């Protein structure tokens, strides 16, 4: 009974997969992050003693569309910085980060090598966060996101839409997409009486 209970607890935590009549198997690796904290994805991956790498697909200035202008509190068609980066854990893509940045707050954003430092690290140094908002939703990814995540076919993904502020105003508007089969969103709250 003790072994059966231990295996059930491991299955409940997603660490093993039980197949009736076949056996119990180690569950595939899933990246995990907290929706209650804003942490550097590279630090999260390295904390698990895994290898982190990034592939930069785009890094350029674009005219702010109506939705981007609203999110960054800019005029429509004003310059905005835009990056698309795939973050990998042990060589497996776990997040596509599509980020718009307010040039007034981070004027040297386009000069950074985001293979060596993450946007989070750079932005935390030049515009420390004072506020953030999150919106979390399940989506079917676009073909471009499927390609960046190296998905053989579209699968459900978790998308986190995040805005961040510093003392200077809105810093970023980011869309973070994670494949459902490789990602767990979790957290821990402590309540004191």
Question: What tens digit of pLDDT does each residue of 117-137 get?
Answer: 999 999 999 999 999 998 999
Q: What is the pTM of this model?
A: 0.78
Cβ proximity of 172 and 99 under 8 Å: yes
**Beta-carbon contacts of residue 84 (< 8 Å; ≥ 6 apart):** 56, 57, 58, 96, 97, 98, 99, 148
Tell me which DSSP letter residue 36 carries.
S
pLDDT at 186: 67
Q: Which domains can be identified in the chain, with CATH numbers?
A: 29-186 (3.40.1410.10)
What is the rounded average pLDDT of the residues 25-44? 66
């Amino acid at each position: 009974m003790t072994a059966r209970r231990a295996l059930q607890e491991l299955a409940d935590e997603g660490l093993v997969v039980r197949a009736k009549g076949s056996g119990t198997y180690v569950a595939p690796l899933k990246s995990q992050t907290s929706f209650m904290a804003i942490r550097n994805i590279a630090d999260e991956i390295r904390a698990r003693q895994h290898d982190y790498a990034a592939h930069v697909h785009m890094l350029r200035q674009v005219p702010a569309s109506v939705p981007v202008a609203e999110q960054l509190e800019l005029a429509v068609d004003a310059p905005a910085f835009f990056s698309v980066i795939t973050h990998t854990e042990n060589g497996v893509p776990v997040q596509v980060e599509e980020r718009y940045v307010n040039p007034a707050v981070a004027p040297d954003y386009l000069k950074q090598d985001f293979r060596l430092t993450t946007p989070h690290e750079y932005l935390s140094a030049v515009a420390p966060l004072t506020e953030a908002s999150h919106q979390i939703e399940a989506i079917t990814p676009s073909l471009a996101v499927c390609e960046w995540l190296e998905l053989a076919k579209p699968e459900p993904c978790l998308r986190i839409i995040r805005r961040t502020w510093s003392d200077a105003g809105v810093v970023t508007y980011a869309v973070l997409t994670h494949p459902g089969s490789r990602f767990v969103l979790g957290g821990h709250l402590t309540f004191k009486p």
